[in-house]
């Protein structure tokens, strides 16, 4: 597996390091990368319904007014449009043109953990594979929750959104799937952990709890385990991405995460 490659020769601060990690992760987990003006297009035929794996990344410089046409040109064969603009200022400039073109806009908040590494919890949090279809404990829990989130989605969409974790294995030097369990052994909460020890950086992604297990401390246990594993791997910069308009932003804030920057995501179906 190739090492982590920064897009900048020397990242100057934590925000640049986070941005570069996200860009590198997107490239490395892609099935195909196509360079385009101002950025690159990632594609993965194995997960065609995953917008994460079939989207346009803009890193700049780029013309905000020309971005809708660029997306239509390079993504013409896809049924959706998904664009992530990694620079905060450029992303804000792109909002008017993309909203006029029918895109919805989401602000992604980049948050770093600035608190102390928490003490271990009593909960049992272990590394898990998805497991065999359909009986793997993690696969079973993730699939059931995906159907709760998207009750109208067809089976192919649910399949791609669950299975895409396999592609993420290539995104970083080490990728772990962590899971907390109830007393019967069922998976109650889970998260991805992407480790790049050589660069001293780690990302925690998709912290989620199955609805039957909400408000029982399972997500706290998974988050704590992820932070402790990242610290043990000597990843001093630990970050995650939160939706500016969703409640987990404040939940993470109470657990030692601080916003250091923003990116902008645009979608059209």
Residues 122-181 have pLDDT tens digits of 888 999 999 887 778 999 999 999 999 999 999 999 999 999 999 999 999 999 999 999
85 vs 64: CA distance, rounded Å: 10
Left if phi > 0, otherwise alpha if psi is -120 to 50, otherwise beta: which for 101? Answer: alpha
Evaluated on CA atoms 20, 169, 84, 151, the torsion sign reads: negative
How high is the mean pLDDT of the chain?
94
Domains of the chain and any CATH numbers: 14-109 (no CATH), 125-260 (3.40.630.30)
What letter would DSSP give residue 47?
G
In this predicted model, what pLDDT tens digit does every residue of 84-127 receive, in sequence order?
A: 999 999 999 999 999 999 999 999 999 999 999 999 988 889 99
**Is residue 252 pLDDT above 50, yes or no?**
yes
- Give the pTM: 0.94
Strand, coil or helix: 186: coil
DSSP 185: S
- pLDDT computed for residue 11 by the predictor: 65
Q: Given pLDDT bands bounded at 50, 70 and 90, which one contains residue 263? A: very high
d(CA 142, CA 140): 6
């Amino acid at each position: 597996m190739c090492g982590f490659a920064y897009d900048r020769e020397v990242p100057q601060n934590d925000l640049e390091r986070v941005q570069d990690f996200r860009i590198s992760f997107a490239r490395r987990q892609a099935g195909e990368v196509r360079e385009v003006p101002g950025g690159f297009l990632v594609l993965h035929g194995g997960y065609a319904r995953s917008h994460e794996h079939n989207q346009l990344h803009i890193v700049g410089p780029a013309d905000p007014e020309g971005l809708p046409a660029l997306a239509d040109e390079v993504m013409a064969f896809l049924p959706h449009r998904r664009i992530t603009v990694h620079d905060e200022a450029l992303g804000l400039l792109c909002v008017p043109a993309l909203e006029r073109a029918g895109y919805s806009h989401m602000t992604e908040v980049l948050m770093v953990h600035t608190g102390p590494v928490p003490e271990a919890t009593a909960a049992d949090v272990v590394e898990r594979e998805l497991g065999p279809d359909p009986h793997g404990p993690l696969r079973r829990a993730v699939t059931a929750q995906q159907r709760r989130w998207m009750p109208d989605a067809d089976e192919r969409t649910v399949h791609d959104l669950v299975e895409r974790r396999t592609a993420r294995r290539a995104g970083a030097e080490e990728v772990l799937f962590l899971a907390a369990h109830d007393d019967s052994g069922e998976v109650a909460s889970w998260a991805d952990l992407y480790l790049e020890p050589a660069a001293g950086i780690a990302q925690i992604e998709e912290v989620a709890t199955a609805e039957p297990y909400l408000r029982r401390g399972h997500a706290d246990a998974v988050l704590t385990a992820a932070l402790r594993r990242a610290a043990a791997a000597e990843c001093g910069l630990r970050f995650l991405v939160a939706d500016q308009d969703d409640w987990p932003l404040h939940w993470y804030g109470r657990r030692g995460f601080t916003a250091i920057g923003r990116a902008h995501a645009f979608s059209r179906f």
